[in-house]
Structure 1
Amino acid sequence: MKYPDNIIEIGSFLPDYMGFIFWEKSARYFDGVIPNLPKSIKKVGVFVNERTEVILAKTNKHDLQAIQLHGHESVAFCQELKNKIDPKIDIIKVFSVDDSFDFEELKPFETVCDYFLFDTKGKLPGGNGTTFNWKVLEKYPSSKPFFLSGGIGIDEMGAINEISKTNLPLYAIDVNSKFEIEPGLKNIQLCKDALQYVSTDNKIKK
């Protein structure tokens, strides 16, 4: 999210999370003031290979409830951040996935983050607008809940609902580029439609 009026309007739909990108190279880079939002919405700060001090400062400034680490952050870095940050703030560690992704990479991160997020491996850390082969999730060896990201649009909602019926701990979906008019500006109707596609009786947050 990037534009105040758009943030407020999307916020009226009460998504569980709302993301703000603090990576300066992104077209969605957020450098403003987050408007007042309903307390049920968790504000997520997205960072890419950022220093701990910067993450802590942005977290305090914007009253973030979750941190999304979208770079090559190490286990040691995640542990340092976990030690310094309010324990009520969720840490989401992102992994870029393709057909050859080795889920063994996740094991060392189990104790230093609250959630994993699986995005499509591409040229950019995120926002590549394409899905990866979700069949690889069948190899997921962990019980840690995860976010699913990468090129998710209305056409993918049916498949996501099917995944939610399996034993996979799919916790949330991360929608972005396919719901935009331009980077950081969400299409109101598409977002509203997406929330209607996510069944109210399943476990997926949005």
Structure 2
Amino acid sequence: MAKVEVKICGVKTTEALEAAARGGAAYVGFNVYRPSPRYVSPEQAAALSQHVPLGMKSAVVTVDADDALFEEIFRLFVPDLIQLHGKEPPRRAADLKARWKTPIIRAVPIATAEDFDTVRAHEGVADYFLFDAAPPTGAALPGGNAATFDWTLLPGQSVATPWFLAGGLNATNVRQAITLSGAVRVDLSSAVERAPGEKDPAMIEELLRGL
């Protein structure tokens, strides 16, 4: 299997971040969406960002965040990427990208092939897409629900923008997911947690060694 780029998302501790770096992860995500069990404050994200090594990119994960939150984030540190995981329209993504001079990861919830229509609306604005499973009925969070979608939908899509595969990936299924989807970038979160929001450094390193 070809080497894939890995994003470890929802990192809350320096131990987890350092494990991701040792394992060769290309990206790390700091989740500033307060309802998430992976939440860190902008101040905590800024402190963690000091431990991001050269060669690894940091993403700040937001959900329908207002201008005040972005102003606070960028006052404290400058992430390499902004991840939009809510219902932000293309205009909002374009405005954020222009204001903060920072590339955008646009998360797209997928359940059926029709959900890729969202991609067309954001092409030319998003620098990356992140294809995540649509939240299960009744889910409180837009992502990070350990749910999967039909990975065979992806090869039939024409997506020129680079993209990540996310949603319920773990040590058992990630290789199959990569094979079926054709992904060259994956986003891992619950796969390397001992409990919701609690990353396990040993699990991070072990999973990364296998990719």
TM-score range, shorter chain: 0.7 to 0.9
Please state if 1:16 is matched with 2:29: no
- The two structures, once aligned, show a CA RMSD in angstroms of 1.9
* Identical aligned residues as a percent: 28
Q: 1:145 Cα shift?
A: 1.3
Whether the 8 Å contact between 2:178 and 2:184 is mirrored in structure 1 is no
| Higher RCO (C-alpha under 8 Å, 6+ residues apart) | 2
C-alpha separation between the residues in 2 aligned to 1:183 and 1:70? 18
Q: Deviations over 1:153-199 (max 9, x none)?
A: 011232134247x5xxx34100011210123322223222222222x
CA distance in 2, matches of 1:189, 1:70: 28
Gaps of 5+ in 1: 199-206
Which aligned runs of 4 or more in structure 1 are off by greater than 4 angstroms? none
Give 1:132's aligned residue: 149
Q: Check if 1:84 corresponds to 2:99.
A: yes
2:116 is aligned, of 103, 108, 113, to 103
Aligned to 1:2: 12
Pair 1:58 & 2:68 matched: no
Show the 5 A alignment for 1:1-206. 1-31=11-41, 32=44, 33-34=47-48, 35-86=50-101, 89-99=102-112, 101-122=114-135, 123=139, 124-163=141-180, 166=182, 170-198=183-211
> What displacement does 1:12 show?
2.8
Residue pair 2:152, 2:180 contacting (<8 A) in 1 also: no
8 Å CA contact 1:56–1:85 kept in 2: the answer is no
Counterparts of 1:94 and 1:78, CA distance in 2? 11
Query: Following TM superposition, by how much is the alpha carbon of 1:120 offset from its aligned partner in structure 2, in angstroms?
Result: 0.8
State the one-letter code of the partner of 1:12: R
- Matched residues in 2 for 1:139 and 1:20: separation? 31
Contact 1:157 1:194 (C-alpha < 8 Å) held by counterparts:
no
Q: Distance in 2 between matches of 1:14 and 1:196?
A: 8
Mapped to 1, the partners of 2:163 and 2:73 lie a distance apart of 24
TM-score, length-normalised on structure 2?
0.83
Q: Secondary structure at the match of 1:101?
A: helix
1:6·1:185 contact (CA, 8 Å) conserved in 2? no
